[in-house]
Structure 1
Amino acid sequence: MKESDPNKKEPIGKLISYIHRTQLKRMSRSLGEYGIGGGGQYSFLKAILMSPGTTQDQLTVGLKFDKATTARSVKQLEAAGYIERRADPEDRRSHQLYPTHKAIEFQPVLQTLLDESNAKLTRDLTDEEEDQLIALLQKLNLED
């Protein structure tokens, strides 16, 4: 990335996109040895760990991914042994997603990696600046 003029404001979308890509690369490198790939698979795994029995549709809506990305990530996490599908007793056409024993044992490692990644991202911010950044980002209207 070219060094930018400190007086020139970068577009917010560009900065957020750059931060997002950097975080994805960082997490992909960290999680590769555990058989968890890119594309935000860790987001899906964390959501399933936090809310066992969720469905793919609920993940798609909750995490704001498209259906294809959700389906691909769920399939890969299942193949890696981190999640299992069970028929939804309320709707046999739907499947609920549950973490496996492997995922439950991995949860502390995942959380540590996420915490370390966030610490690297915010290492040059004071606690007050970090709180302000979070508040401002949450204030952005991201709905269509």
Structure 2
Amino acid sequence: MEMKFITKDQSVGKHVDIISRYLFYYINKQVEPYHLQKHSYKILIELYHQEGLCQEDLVTLLKLSKADIAKSVKKLIGLGYIHKEKDTEDKRIHHLYLTEKSLAIKDSIISILEDTSTILSQNISKEDIQITKKVMQQMAENILHASHTLKNS
């Protein structure tokens, strides 16, 4: 029986992984002056869009583990970028709110992400970018479905 191997040029996953690693390296270097790490800037972005989210909301939105979110939230609170407030009805839930300090860096953080998006898409036509987004969304759905299948077996 002949074994078949995927070469590096054939592996979509390898290319996605490489882009992901370079992307996070680039962004992490850009947000270093604000002492933001790994997932912290993602949480700030979500709160810039919708203040008052709880940690469970962030787990769902960012597709990160509860532990990663908890660690990042603790760090953001320690840095003075966000604060927690207990829910008035369910005291187990804490909503997250931005501080003046996080609002002061909002434009810089958004600019970093916009610049990153520009870098990623330079020398690529608008049509190809639209196709790429559509294909990557489908890939994300495919792997999510496959992941759910693993969980249920």
- TM-score w.r.t. the length of structure 2 is 0.83
Aligned to 2:117: 118
1:3 corresponding residue in structure 2: none
Residue 79 of structure 1: aligned partner: 78
> What's the C-alpha RMSD, in Å, of the aligned pairs?
1.5
Aligned residue pair count: 137
Partner of 1:35: 35
Give the Å deviation of 1:17.
1.5
- Give ranges in structure 1 of 5+ residues lacking alignment: 1-6
Distance of aligned partners of 1:86 and 1:23 in 2 relative to their CA distance in 1, 3 Å threshold: same
Does the 8 Å contact 1:55/1:97 carry over to 2?
yes
One-letter code aligned to 1:15: H
SS in 1 for 2:83: strand
The residue that corresponds to 1:91 in the other structure is 90
Higher helix share: 2
Please tell me the residue identity of whatever aligns with 1:113.
I
Counterpart Cα distance in 2 of 1:25 and 1:8: 21
- TM (normalized to structure 1)? 0.88
What residue ranges of structure 2 are gaps of 5+ in the alignment?
A: 1-6, 149-153
Q: Is the CA contact 1:82–1:100 (under 8 Å) kept in the aligned structure 2?
A: yes
Task: Please say if residues 49 and 98 of structure 1, whose CA atoms lie closer than 8 Å, have aligned partners that are also in contact.
Answer: no
Name the CA distance, whole Å, in 2 between partners of 1:57 and 1:71. 10
- Structure-to-structure mapping, 1:50-65, within 5 angstroms: 50-65=49-64
TM superposition shift of 1:8: 6.5
Q: CA deviation at 1:124?
A: 2.5
Match status 1:10 vs 2:48: no
Paired with 2:41 and 2:16, the residues of 1 have a C-alpha distance of 19
Larger Rg: 2
Q: Is the 8 A contact 2:54 2:96 kept in 1?
A: yes
Hey, what does 2:133 align to over in structure 1?
Answer: 134
